[in-house]
Structure 1
Amino acid sequence: MNQKAIRYELADLKQKVYLSENATLRYLVFAALYVCEGIPIGITFYAIPAWLAMNEVSAVSIAAYVSIISIPWSFKFFIAPIIDRYTPIAMGRKRPWIIVAQIGLIISFLSFGFVSEPLGNIQGLMICGFLISLFGSTQDIAIDGMAVDIIPIHQQARANGIMWGSRIIGQSLSLLLGTTLINIVGFTNAITSLSLIIAFLILVPIYFREHRGEKLMPWTKGKASEVSKKAQLTEWKSLFKNLGKVLILPTSLILSLGMIFTGASTGFIEVLFPIFTVQELNWTNTDYSQVYSIASVVGGGFSMVAGGVIIDFIGTKKMALILISLLALVILSFGLISNSWQNISTVYGFIILFNLLNTLLTVALLAMAMKISWHKISASQFTLYMTCNNLGIIIGPWLFGLIQEKLQWNQVFFCGAAIPFFAFFIYKTINIKKHLTTLENLTE
């Protein structure tokens, strides 16, 4: 092999480690980052509520815990402009934030495992869970912003399917593994073990760069790419001016409202699951974690393999409307067949079907939000939609705690079905094509 051919192969090899130049690498890296997001979520939002329910902690206390640790996910919008405005751009627009947030996530998750007497210390769990969510949500903002910057529009639905599927699989496997470890080796050892996995995954954002020629670390050689320089906003006035232009557009306002409703639906049903199965159906937390993990893997796996492709084929808006309708119907139907709740297969089927539909709906809505985001303010705009979704996730458990002790369980499910029913009529008024045309005509 001659010298010219060797140089060509070396140049081709280097190209493969830049996210902007390699679609396969983008899919793999974003999948790994979303798995890392899913691990602490699986423990804090799913394993711990089931564990508390099994140990006779009240539904009100569990709902309060879930609501508190959801707060950082609902106020991401205050962090996103900082990420859009400030960054050591020579390392990339979003990658430095991903690294810093993951370091904080590792430390806070380790701290969570050392909460003393956790079953009698809900406040301690709330505080540490809040910090985990703070760093996790910061990392999520940066990852999503980087995805909007780097992933072409025609790849976004498929990428979101892979990304969200990876997060679901990560949280479901951590739920299953975490529950098993908590029951066998105790709370502290279980959390510490899972923290090591998060620590290992920090190698992904450390090694792979956004654009060719950027610095790997602050002390290494490199410079900001021209693409990043052009997209980066250097003044607060310019950032908020551009953000204001986009957020007052009808599609932005409608999507924001819709996200609150779909988030509330998710939060309502997902806080209901562990309490209903453990305290009403007398399952153990292990029984619940196994079923929920299987359901999540089914939903996440299908999303990764076919979700994005199907959404691309049918269209984001149309697919979202179909899925919202099916979700409302499934929840309502389960509430109507209370005589069959002792049939394990019926409950299994409901949990699996809900997770599958909800995962696909999330992928469709993420693709829609990414599609209508303007690259100049990618982190801030996209995060606004996710903030609205997470605000709904706080409202959902609060609504559940408000009505659970006053209504029978079938009536609780009827209330859960009403939320996506209203969301359907909100999303129906969105006009994506008109919105994209408006974005093309915007100027700074």
Structure 2
Amino acid sequence: MKLKIRLSSLAERVSLRYFTFIALYFAEGLPMGILFIGIPAWMAMNNKSVTEIGAFDVACAMPWTFKFFIAPMMDRYTFLPMGRKRPWVIICQTGLFLSLLIMASIKDPLNHLSLLVAGGFLVSIFGAAQDAATDGLAVDNIPAEEQARANAFMGGARMIGSSFALALSTWLLERYNFFISTATIGLAVGLITLVPILIREHQEERLFPWSDGQANKSNEQIQISSWMEMYRSLYAAFSLRNAFLLALLLFLSQGSYNYFEKLLPIFAVKVTGWTHVYYSNAFAVADLTGGVAGILLGGWLIERFGIKRMIYLYFFFICAQTLLLGFLDQYWKDTGFLYSYIVVYRWVNAFAKIGVFAIAMQCCSKRVSASQFTFYMTIGAVGSMVGAALISPVKNSFNWEISFMFFAVMMVLCAVILWVLNIKKLEQQIEGLEKHHQ
């Protein structure tokens, strides 16, 4: 029995931590692949308007802005004998599984867009909640020296999950129907729910509510016991100048990415003449290879050359690549050109996200881990929603070249914010706040 407990503890084993978070972030990527890429491309292929596609995108992005209301509940209330965040991960993962099955049951979704939008909204609610719980679990259990590499694993796993779901769901959609396509992804999410069910945070905790075990002492010491205490901790953390700059970086970078990545399928289908299946497969290949590259190289590059230096390089490359796309309009109908562009972009984009998310994780306090990290991610989600909402007015007002230029300018602004941000000072200030409350 002791051996079983030891093998099921995140606190004791590095390999188990990596496995757990790779699995959970892979599960998080599964609905993202169909909600944010596959279904919009499918809608474009079936002659739905930019406004209709944009409405679905906004509905899927909006729940991610609510995470900041969910995360404080996770920090304030939990069942400590089963861990600080593990009970929430199990609940949210189960909800994600069930919501995908509910969405799959929509009949003729292309002719019932309001139901499709509602289904995407429901799945995103549980997807956002699962993300908040998993992020809090990661901040609580991953030591500082492992965070860059862990973020590479997690970001890569999310991309692989997204690409896997995109390729599989698109193939099933073409060969069978919407129900089989979406339900299959839901079942995959349900299978991964076994991971948090069977793995403890600490060896002395309970596996199930009715099992033997007790709360971890360190968790009891940092657990916040009142809402006032939580608000004071959050206010102290977010009143810092560099915390504001970090939030601004996440808002602008995630907003610009989502703007561009919602523009690409419309461009590929309407200008290059791709089908939604071909675009989905191209994006899946890009995400799959980018995710693997992120796992193998993302963390190592940051550890070897420094986090700021590498993110600068990624921002510069994305900006240059986007300008090149705008100028080389004579190659827009060349399938090989656009395919290569998407693959390279997603590689660099994966590395850039890994770097920015690693900064956010290392600058969080364990006392309010879910709330603080979720605030950063929520700001990014708000940016994503704004980015999706910008597609219609920008594209309706400007040509493709100007629309691409808009993205390049946002990348330059991201680099400027990163230059002003003082990461070391923010880390020191967060550490000081933690010591003050001990």
Query: Match for residue 316 of structure 1?
Result: 307
CA root-mean-square deviation: 1.1
Give per-residue Cα distances to partners, 1:286-326, cap 9 Å, x unaligned. 11011101110111110011111111222222222221122
Determine whether 1:377 maps to 2:368: yes
AA matched with 1:317: K
Matched-pair identity in %: 36
CA distance 1:413–1:217, shift in 2 (3 Å)? same
Q: How much does 1:407 deviate?
A: 1.6
Unaligned runs of 5+ in 2: none
Alignment of structure 1 residues 194-209 onto 2, 5 Å: 194-209=185-200
- Determine if the alignment matches structure 1 residue 361 to structure 2 residue 323: no
Q: For residues 13-44 of structure 1, what are the alpha-carbon distances to aligned partners after superposition, in whole Å with 9 as ceiling and x for unaligned?
A: 54222001000010011001111111111111
Alignment partner, residue 5 of structure 1: none
Does structure 2 conserve the Cα–Cα contact (< 8 Å) formed by 1:36 and 1:201? yes
1:283 is displaced (CA, Å) by: 0.6
Task: Output one character per residue of 1:415-443: Cα deviation in whole Å (capped at 9) or x when no partner.
Answer: 12111111111111111111222222221
Unaligned segments of structure 1, at least 5 residues: 1-9
What's the TM-score, normalizing by structure 2?
0.97
Number of aligned residue pairs:
435
**Counterpart Cα distance in 2 of 1:135 and 1:216:** 23
| Residue 61, structure 1, aligned to residue 60, structure 2 | no
Q: Is the CA contact (8 Å cut-off) linking 2:5 and 2:204 kept in structure 1? A: no
Aligned equivalent of 2:137: 146
Match of 1:159 in 2: 150
Distance, in Å, in 1 between the alignment partners of 2:308 and 2:80 is 35
Could you tell me which residue of structure 1 aligns to residue 26 of structure 2? 35
Q: Distance in 1 between matches of 2:170 and 2:242?
A: 41
Does 2:288 align with 1:281?
no
Query: 1:79 aligned to 57, 61, 70, which one?
Result: 70
Provide the secondary structure at the position in 1 that maps to 2:373: helix
C-alpha separation in 1, matches of 2:432 and 2:256: 35
- Residue type matched to 1:162 in 2? F
Select 2:83's aligned residue among 83, 92, 103.
Answer: 92
SS in 1 for 2:315: helix
1:361-392 residue CA offsets vs partner (Å, 9 max, x unmatched): 11001110001101111111111110111111
CA contact (8 A) 2:83 2:205 kept: yes
Q: Structure 1 segments of 4 or more deviating over 3 A?
A: 10-14
Distance 2:104 2:141 in 1: 36
- Tell me, yes or no, if structure 1 residue 137 matches structure 2 residue 128: yes
Aligned partner of residue 307 in structure 1, secondary structure: helix
Give the counterpart of 1:436 among 413, 427, 431. 427
**8 A contact 2:135–2:370 mirrored in 1:** yes
SS at match of 2:264: helix
Letter in structure 2 aligned against 1:257: L
Between 65-74 and 316-325, report the one with greater CA deviation. 316-325
Find the aligned partners of 2:97 and 2:5 in 1 and give their Cα distance: 30
SS at match of 2:224: coil
- TM-aligned CA deviation for residue 12 of structure 1: 5.1
* Aligned counterpart for 1:391 among listed residues 377, 382, 389: 382
